[in-house]
Chain A
Amino acid sequence: MVNWEYSESVESQEIVNIKEKYQNFINGKFQQPNSKKYINTISPSTEEVLSKIVISNEKDVDNAVQSAQLGFEKWSNTSPHERSKHLFKLARLIQERSREFAVLESMDGGKPIKESRDFDLPQVAANFFYFAGWADKIDLSWGAKSLKPHGVVGQIIPWNFPLLMLAWKVAPALATGNTVVLKPAETTSLTALLFAELCEQAGLPDGVVNIITGDGTTGSLIVNHKDINKIAFTGSTQVGKLIQKSLAGRDVGLTLELGGKAANIVYEDAAIDQAVEGVVNGIFFNQGHVCCAGSRLLLQESIHDEFVAKLEKRMQTLRVGNPLDKNTDIGAINSKEQLNKIEGLVNEGVSDGGKIFQTECELPGNGFWFKPTLFTDVQPSYSIAREEIFGPVLTTLTFRTPQEAVEIANNTEYGLSAGVWTEKGSKILWTADRLQAGVVWANTFNKFDPSSPFGGYKESGFGREGGRQGLLSYLKAES
């Protein structure tokens, strides 16, 4: 075999222009925050300080909510058709500045440029395009005239798909006539702040979109603000439960998109090579920082050895390193904190008795990295088989019959997604019917589209994002 020498191809950072520090975007402009507390936002692949963002305090949250209330009046007086055109305009602007966003996303969050460029940004634009067209057709969506916007929506989003989660939240909220106060995650705020510039550029009425930065304390201030009409949260199940509890007894709408521990079921009659690709994509996409990641591989016993051998061989070809290198498959772990969590759970898996395989690769000196990891010989009771790791770690379990596969797949508090691999159509339909999961990928995995609803059963949350069903998350029935 010829041993090809590797030659890197690094995307230039010149296209982005990062400010030294950022302010909040309230009432249509960047404003000096009341809070004096700033934190550094760093690149997880180099640990270099990129900028400073503010940890917004109670006064800042209050300003943003008040601005969104005024914005709601303006937005309600804007005709649905004009609202639609505003969203179309935003979609176009995102496409035009897509490369800039993609590079910034990879610098700030650590994800490979090929994903931010070819997945995140096209999806962001697609979400604005899709919901733009709904804005003046809400009455057609469910045939009910009584569906009305909530008003001011507080949106709290995670760090795994920073700008895409913003798009999932902001586009449907605006299309349904709400206004928003959005808080990006504290490790990945920069693309949201760049998006704020686009809102200015697009001429969106002041106060319709408000973006304030901060950590969990700021998030909690948004949830507990007396004038918030609805909260939309994407993040961990643990925090989701706290939010649900905080809102008890208050007339505030809530949708939650929480954690997952998806089963990816491979039957013995699957197209094995395709399934290996799908399983790799299912867990190693975005470093495994994906709530719907196929983190539990369920293999039919008869193909276990063959499948694991092929999987290990394929994993070995994954290129881990500089997110801005166009050849990189797996970028940096988003933060030191997340790396510690992954390491902790993996160590627990080893001491529980799981057999570990990690690819041989050189990791960069600075930054946060974790090698693609596969566990076999795992018992369903191990933490690595039950808890969401949110990293590039795949756990393998085996089953004998389809009934057993479904039972194992559903034996979790989560119910976000699942995968099924078989060449037999009837078996796909039989399995999909029985899986308690909001999204089922059959002979594919980790596919997304703005027209396709996403969201969980059970402790993976409630409400859907995307599609016609996604509109309901931002509408309430009014008599």
Chain B
Amino acid sequence: MIEIKKTYKNYVGGKYVRSESGKTFTLNLKNDSFEVPLTSKKDIRDAVTSSKAGFEKWSEISPYTKTQILYRLSEMIEGNKDSYVDLLVLCGSTKNQAKKDVETAIENIVWYAGLADKWEQVSGNLNPVNGEYFNISHQNPIGVVFSLNSNNNSLSSLLNSIIQPLTVGCSVISFSEESSIIALKFAEDINNSDFPAGSLNILSGQFENVFEDVSKHVEINLISICKEIPNEMLTKIQENASSSVKRIVNMPSIDGISSILPFLETKTVWHPKGT
């Protein structure tokens, strides 16, 4: 019997799409190979449009509901654990490594699910100002985040590059290169869970084709780089980013509360007290 092989596509605005360019590139895994979309500059622009709409919807969803949506994501992955393990084995992991990786990813999602309705109590506070004023600092999500995934074929690494901005209400464009197959597979669980369309977009491609456009795009509010990139490329990205004071985070912390801070803007509101 002829093997029926899945066609992996980008995931943008809640839909599976090919690159508008029609181009693909070959992922040669240890035990298999796949053709995946080679994201074009136009695809990036489309993903930003979708992410902006996704941000509007996702940031409006209450923290309590966000917690449940994130927790449901862990349930979805748990249900599909075997298929992740199989794919990771195709990528070259041992079965044990693969199992451990998926379990780590699930534990991580559950941790952040429980943070979605609490982080504001940790990062925000009343300020004891000198005078008769009520003064509170709380945080808003920064907006559209572009995240460059590492080349590890690992579900837990992928999650660590997107879960922090997602937890606080940012929309995310996740871009993977050599590790695309895991990300494109993960899109299926996103699609089956309750994330609003556009809140998480998954793209595959070669970053060097698109980094200029990504770093110049004024509607991307922050670029998170979770992979070692050449210093010339980082320099160019940061130079381009300066034209709109765009935030760049290189190798963000994945440790506790520090891991969400880059994706927040602190807003402080004053009001007089009186009779």
Contacts and interface: CB of A to CB of B under 8 A. Distances in A.
Contacts of B131: 447, 449
Interface in A428-479: 428, 432, 435-444, 447, 449, 451-455, 457-462, 464, 467-469, 472, 477, 479
A244 interface: yes
Interface stretch (A26-34, A219-227, A245-253, A327-335): A245-253
B271 to A, nearest CB: 4
A140 to B, nearest CB: 12
A305 to B, nearest CB: 27
A459 B123 CA distance: 23
Contacts of A452: 127, 129, 135, 137, 268, 270
A88 B38 CA distance: 59
Interface string B30-60: 0000000000000000000000000000000
A296 to B, nearest CB: 18
Interface in A238-262: 240-242, 244-245, 247-249, 256, 258
Contact of B235 (A249, A447, A460): A249
Interface of A: 126, 142-144, 146-147, 237, 240-242, 244-245, 247-249, 256, 258, 413, 428, 432, 435-444, 447, 449, 451-455, 457-462, 464, 467-469, 472, 477, 479
A126 B130 contact: yes
Contacts of A461: 245
A443 B273 CA distance: 10
A443 B133 CA distance: 11
Nearest to B139: A469
B209 to A, nearest CB: 20
Q: What are the 8 A-B residue pairs with the smallest beta carbon separation, nearest first?
A: A249-B235, A248-B238, A244-B242, A449-B129, A245-B242, A248-B239, A451-B127, A477-B253
Contacts of B265: 438, 457
A438 B268 contact: yes
Nearest to A463: B266
A453 B137 CA distance: 7
A262 B161 CA distance: 35
Interface of B: 122-123, 125, 127-131, 133, 135, 137, 140, 231-232, 234-239, 241-245, 247, 253, 255-258, 261, 265-272
B255 A440 contact: no
Given A126-B130, A143-B257, A245-B239, A464 B266 contact: yes
Contacts of A258: 245
A138 B105 CA distance: 32
Contacts, number: 125
A457 B140 CA distance: 10
A449 B140 CA distance: 21
B255 to A, nearest CB: 7
A142 B124 CA distance: 11
Given A144-B257, A146-B255, A467-B127, A444 B247 contact: no
Nearest to A461: B245
A242 B241 CA distance: 11
A144 B258 contact: yes
Nearest to B128: A451
A451 B127 CA distance: 6
Contacts of A249: 231-232, 234-235, 238-239
A421 B179 CA distance: 52
Contact of A144 (B234, B236, B244, B255): B255
Contacts of B267: 432, 435, 437-440, 457
Contact of A447 (B122, B234, B261, B270): B270
B244 A459 contact: yes
Contacts of A436: 140
B164 to A, nearest CB: 13
A460 B265 CA distance: 12
B258 A458 contact: no
Nearest to B272: A444
Contact of B130 (A438, A443, A449, A457): A449
A265 to B, nearest CB: 13
Given A447-B270, A469-B137, A248 B242 contact: yes
A146 B258 contact: yes
Contact of B243 (A241, A432, A435): A241
